[in-house]
Amino acid sequence: MNPFLDLGIRHEVVNAITEMGFEKPSPIQEKAIPVLLTGNDDFVGLAQTGTGKTAAFGLPLLELIDFTQKHPQALVLCPTRELCLQIAKDLEKYAKHVDNVHVVAVYGGANISDQLRQIRRGVQIVVATPGRMLDIIGRKAIDFSNVKYVVLDEADEMLNMGFQEDINNILSETPDTKKTWLFSATMPKEVRRIAQNYMTDPHELTVGTKNTGNVNIEHQYYVVKARDKYAAFKRIVDYYPEIFGIVFCRTKIETQEIAEALVRDGYNADSLHGDLSQQQRDKVMKRYRDRSLQLLIATDVAARGIDVNDVTHVINFSLPDEVENYTHRSGRTARAGKTGVSLSLINVKELGKIRRIEKIIGKQFEKKQVPEASEVVEKQLLAMTDKIRNVDINEERIAPYLPSIMESMQDLSKEDIIKRFASLEFNRFLDYYQNAPDLNVDARERDGDREERGDRRSRTASKGYTRLFINLGSVDEFSRGDMLGLICDAANISGKSVGKIDMKGVFTFFEVQDADVNKVFEGFQGTEYNGRAVRVEVSGEESRGGGRSRGGDSGGRRRDRKSGGSGSSYRGDRRDSGSFRGERKRAASRSKY
């Protein structure tokens, strides 16, 4: 038997919600429906958005209301127009197979005459935002004398938005005998006070944690210059290879432009906005749901009611004009108990808006740095190696081709093959990120200062040291000790001259005493490691795109030296010293380094 039938919901409604994909009640529904169905109690439910609370109060309402009558019997108050429309739409969907159900959505910013006309025609359930509701009450256009149930949905949000007095005034228009059902994600004392003032011994239920917003959402922001926004956005997306995201823009045009640019740049993206026909919308949504699309670029209006599970990131490419819309955007992730990230790309002037949002959601944002190019490259490489490692192998079907594949690869070592596979997908990526600048506003400003002083050293170099970049890293199977040995041998300097070594996947940053910097450049000049020209640069130059190794060296010259096959002091020392262990030693002896 269907568990909703067990709970006491009628067949027609169960059929409708089954069509909507509800198989079994969510925790809040399981707990709240039996209590609310009695129609005897006031009720307080602590539940976050995305927990299924609309059905938790909506399904009991459909059982309790007398639909042969055409006067308002239930009033649902909620904070925003979007939520108002969504609740009304959901109720209509649940009631699809029930006759004579009339729901009206009453909200600001829309033509009031249409709403008044619907009320005059007769409605049983009014879903409203407080301001417009008061307006209609003020016009004496609605009779609440038969209201039996008032639902205060997202009560904390309504109070945050300053609707306390409006709510008081609206409630005073409803009969004392009504039952009040309050839903809130958090329970600040103002909400508690409503419960005390308007309810009698309410039945209280909690789903999830008390006094927090959706704890599963991490809120983050990145400060970037307007002109760098798109590049920063792409870099963040690249940093999360498994991203399945919704990207919010402010306007239809922005939505379309971003989607087009992303597609042009090889991303799996499409847009959803108000100019699309219903058919086009459905098509985009189907692709997104099926995960044929990785990024859905949407306006607030178009994204209303999107309920796709497993969205990993909500990206606010532009912050919403109305701060409260942020909650609705971020609520598209971390649904059904999952975790998710809501990140915003902002300029310095928008920090105030972030602070206002923090107040509304009751949570702090984490300031994040746009990942460095090397970090993105590393993440992508690791994702790809994971993919290779986990690929399903159809032994039977690949078998006939294996002998010729093996033959064509026989002169390549395992390492060579791995590198070639990686490069196949990666060369474009490496090229793209080769000269990629730091996109963080603060970093850029600091770099700018330094340039003015003619000082090209990295901001993080310790005093008396220069921070250098080398295009060898942990993927080359170097440990930090190996790297230290390599540098000392190549430059013929003592270990004491080398400061911090910051190994990345395909790069390493290391500090060298200012006096020894040229020795390092000279030592590495024209050398290669496993067939790859070794590149050493002052950190910061490599990221600015113009600079190459110091000392007048050029890529061309390095290649010349390489083909000439000349050794370096490092090479001989390294082999003889035997400080490389195991595989490392063999790799070193096969190549120049």
- Provide the binding-site residues for ligand AMP, judged by CB under 6 A: 20-22, 25-26, 29, 49-55, 307
Closer to ligand AMP by Cβ: residue 151 or 345? 151
Contact assessment for residue 132 and residue 115, using Cβ atoms and an 8 Å cutoff? yes
Contact assessment for residue 360 and residue 327, using Cβ atoms and an 8 Å cutoff? yes
Q: Least distance (Å) from ligand AMP to the CB of residue 107?
A: 17
Distance between CA 485 and CA 508 in Å, rounded?
A: 14
Q: Least distance (Å) from ligand AMP to the CB of residue 22?
A: 4
For 204-231, what is the HEC assignment?
EEECCCCCCCCCCEEEEEEECCHHHHHH
Q: Least distance (Å) from ligand AMP to the CB of residue 3?
A: 9
Closer to ligand AMP by Cβ: residue 22 or 288? 22
Q: How far apart are the first and last CA of the chain?
A: 71
Q: Least distance (Å) from ligand AMP to the CB of residue 425?
A: 37
Compute φ and ψ for 292, nearest 5 degrees.
-75, -20
Contact assessment for residue 256 and residue 273, using Cβ atoms and an 8 Å cutoff? yes
* Strand duo 245-248 + 217-223: pairing: unpaired
Quick one: tokens of 537?
């640069």
Closer to ligand AMP by Cβ: residue 88 or 370? 88
> Of all helices (H) and strands (E), which one includes residue 295?
strand 295-298
Sheet holding 340-346, edge to edge: 269-272, 295-298, 245-248, 313-316, 340-346, 217-223, 366-367
Closer to ligand AMP by Cβ: residue 49 or 318? 49
Closer to ligand AMP by Cβ: residue 71 or 89? 89
Contact assessment for residue 332 and residue 309, using Cβ atoms and an 8 Å cutoff? no
Task: Supply the DSSP string of 8-38, one letter for each residue.
Answer: T--HHHHHHHHHTT--S--HHHHHHHHHHHT
Compute φ and ψ for 179, nearest 5 degrees.
-105, 140
Q: Least distance (Å) from ligand AMP to the CB of residue 151?
A: 12
* Strand duo 498-503 + 203-206: pairing: unpaired
Closer to ligand AMP by Cβ: residue 85 or 136? 85
Q: Least distance (Å) from ligand AMP to the CB of residue 77?
A: 15
CA distances from 431 to 374, 423, 435, 554 (A): 12, 11, 8, 17
Contact assessment for residue 452 and residue 532, using Cβ atoms and an 8 Å cutoff? no
Q: Least distance (Å) from ligand AMP to the CB of residue 92?
A: 13
Closer to ligand AMP by Cβ: residue 174 or 330? 330
**Strand, coil or helix: what is 357?**
helix
Q: Least distance (Å) from ligand AMP to the CB of residue 55?
A: 5
Closer to ligand AMP by Cβ: residue 208 or 547? 208
Closer to ligand AMP by Cβ: residue 55 or 95? 55
Q: 484-500 burial, b if ≥16 CB within 10 A, otherwise e?
A: bbbbbbbbebeeebbbe
Q: Least distance (Å) from ligand AMP to the CB of residue 56?
A: 7
Closer to ligand AMP by Cβ: residue 90 or 553? 90
Closer to ligand AMP by Cβ: residue 257 or 307? 307
Q: Least distance (Å) from ligand AMP to the CB of residue 353?
A: 25
Distance between CA 588 and CA 530 in Å, rounded?
A: 8
Distance between CA 284 and CA 286 in Å, rounded?
A: 5
Q: Least distance (Å) from ligand AMP to the CB of residue 26?
A: 5
Quick one: tokens of 430?
């490496």
If you count them, how many residues does the chain have? 593
Closer to ligand AMP by Cβ: residue 54 or 124? 54
Q: Least distance (Å) from ligand AMP to the CB of residue 154?
A: 10
CA distances from 104 to 101, 114, 134, 178, 180 (A): 10, 10, 15, 20, 19
